[in-house]
Amino acid sequence: MAKHPPQEQHAALLTTSRSRNQIRWGILKDIRRNPWLYIMLTPVLLYFTIFHYYPMYGALIAFKDFSPRLGIMGSPWVGWEHFESFFEGIYFWRIIKNTLLISFYELVFGFPAPLILALLLNEVRKTAFKRTVQTFTYMPHFISLVVVCGMIKEFTMSDGIINDLLALLGWERVSLLLESQYFRTIFVSSGIWQNVGWGTIIYLAALAGIDQEQYEAARMDGAGRWKQMLHVTLPGIMPTIIILFILEMGRVMNVGGEKIILLYNPSTYETADVISSYVYRVGLQEFDYSFSSAVGLFNSAINFMLVICSNWLSRKMNNTGLW
């Protein structure tokens, strides 16, 4: 998922209060004034229309008994049948619970991690050290997910490196990926390891934008490093944090299915099976496209609601939001 730079969202914010007519005139005038900006925007708009909006009509198959040979329009309608069979399935509550729990842990542990690292890096004065740390923490982001999961598997095997360490401490060797109670920990912590460095980039950019005079003023008032961070740095990057948080909320139901599928096995389904992995197993492997898109649609609807809610909340509390 591409994260939008905050500037774009701020620009969008400005327009909300005006009436429609004004906007229409405004846009026309603006086009005349900045034609090149709009020309540059066109490919992006086209991209979204062709690859994001146009395919949406395919969501129709969630209400149809889709057969590839009949096509989307030709397949017979079945109404809510696929949704019903999903809701009535024996695993419905389990996968909803797992999805929410894993998302929750990712939000609680994964979301602050890059923020904390960025704040720490911000305090480092030795550029060479800072750069080295940054480079090292970026690296995992560029390793293919399949390779990362292969490594995780190797490390957690009964004769893997983690078990070697545990055995030194006198623990019994167990194949960690076979134990359902460890799955979430493994999943979330490896996710942090993989993305923490990458996530700091956007915060570091926001940090660079803070007015240095504010720090000076704070120092004049006698604020130490800690107080400066609390009262200058954090408020300075708050809008960025909130926007990233809202975007993150929109992904709550979309736990990375690929990584789950690469790591889970029947003995950890209990804690690992999420909506996307279930859809993959039941829907796609069995050619049941209609069922899969019904679940996908349900998923998107919830995500949509979550984004709206968190945006509303943040506007209420902080006066910032995506729109």
Partner 1 sequence: MDRRLRIGKILIRRFKAAVSSVLLMSLILAGCSTGSTEEGEPKDQAGASSDIGSTYPLKTSEGFTSWEALNNNAVTFYSNLAETPFGKALAEKTGVNVKYVHPNDQQTKEQFNLMIASDELPDTIEYDWTGRSAGSYPGGPEKAIKDGVILELNDLIDKYAPNLKKKLEADKELDKMVKTDSGKYYVFPMIRNPSGLVFRGPIIRKDWLDDLNLPVPTTIAEWETTLKAFKDQKGAKAPLSVTYTGGNFEIRDAFIGAYHTSNSFYIDDEGKVKYGPVDPQYKDFLALFRKWFAEGLFDKDFALTDGKALDNKILTGQTGATVSLLSGGLGKWMDAMKKQDPKFKLVGAPYPTVKKGEVPFTGQRDFKYNPGPSKAITTAAKNPELVAKWLDYAYSDEGAMLFNFGIEGESYSMDNGTPVYTDLIKNNEKYSLQQMVSQYSKPNGPYEADERRNWNTFPEQDEAVKIWSNTDAEKHTLPAFLTPTDEESKELGKILTDVSNYKEEMFVKFIVGKEPMENYDAYVTQIKKLGIDRAVEIYQNALDRYNER
Taking the C-alpha atoms of residue 86 and residue 80, their distance in angstroms, rounded to an integer, is 10
Q: Which residue, among 234, 233, 209, 231, has the nearest Cα to 222 in the 3D structure? A: 231
159 touches partner 1 (CB under 8 A): yes
Q: Compare residues 67 and 214 and give the one whose CB is closer to partner 1.
A: 67
User: Which residue do the tokens 């130490």 mark?
Assistant: 224
From the list 182-190, 207-215, 222-230, 259-267, the region that binds partner 1 by CB under 8 A is 259-267
From the list 99-107, 126-134, 176-184, 223-231, the region that binds partner 1 by CB under 8 A is 176-184
185 touches partner 1 (CB under 8 A): no
177 touches partner 1 (CB under 8 A): yes
For partner 1 (CB under 8 A), the number of binding residues is 32
153 touches partner 1 (CB under 8 A): yes
Contact pick of 38, 60, 89, 101 for partner 1 (by CB under 8 A): 89
1 touches partner 1 (CB under 8 A): no
Contact pick of 15, 34, 158, 185 for partner 1 (by CB under 8 A): 158
User: Which residue do the tokens 């080295």 mark?
Assistant: 132
Contact 250, 303 (CB under 8 A): yes
For the CB of residue 274, give the shortest distance to partner 1 in the complex, in Å.
14
Establish how many alpha carbons lie within 13 A of residue 129's alpha carbon, considering only the half-sphere containing its beta carbon. 7
90 touches partner 1 (CB under 8 A): yes
Contact pick of 8, 123, 216, 286 for partner 1 (by CB under 8 A): 286
For the CB of residue 47, give the shortest distance to partner 1 in the complex, in Å.
20
Q: Compare residues 176 and 252 and give the one whose CB is closer to partner 1.
A: 176
Site map (CB under 8 A) of partner 1, residues 62-81, x = contact = -----xxxxx----------
Contact pick of 23, 108, 284, 305 for partner 1 (by CB under 8 A): 284
Q: Which residues bind partner 1 (CB under 8 A)?
A: 67-71, 85, 89-91, 153, 157-159, 173-175, 177-178, 180, 265-267, 269-270, 281-282, 284-289
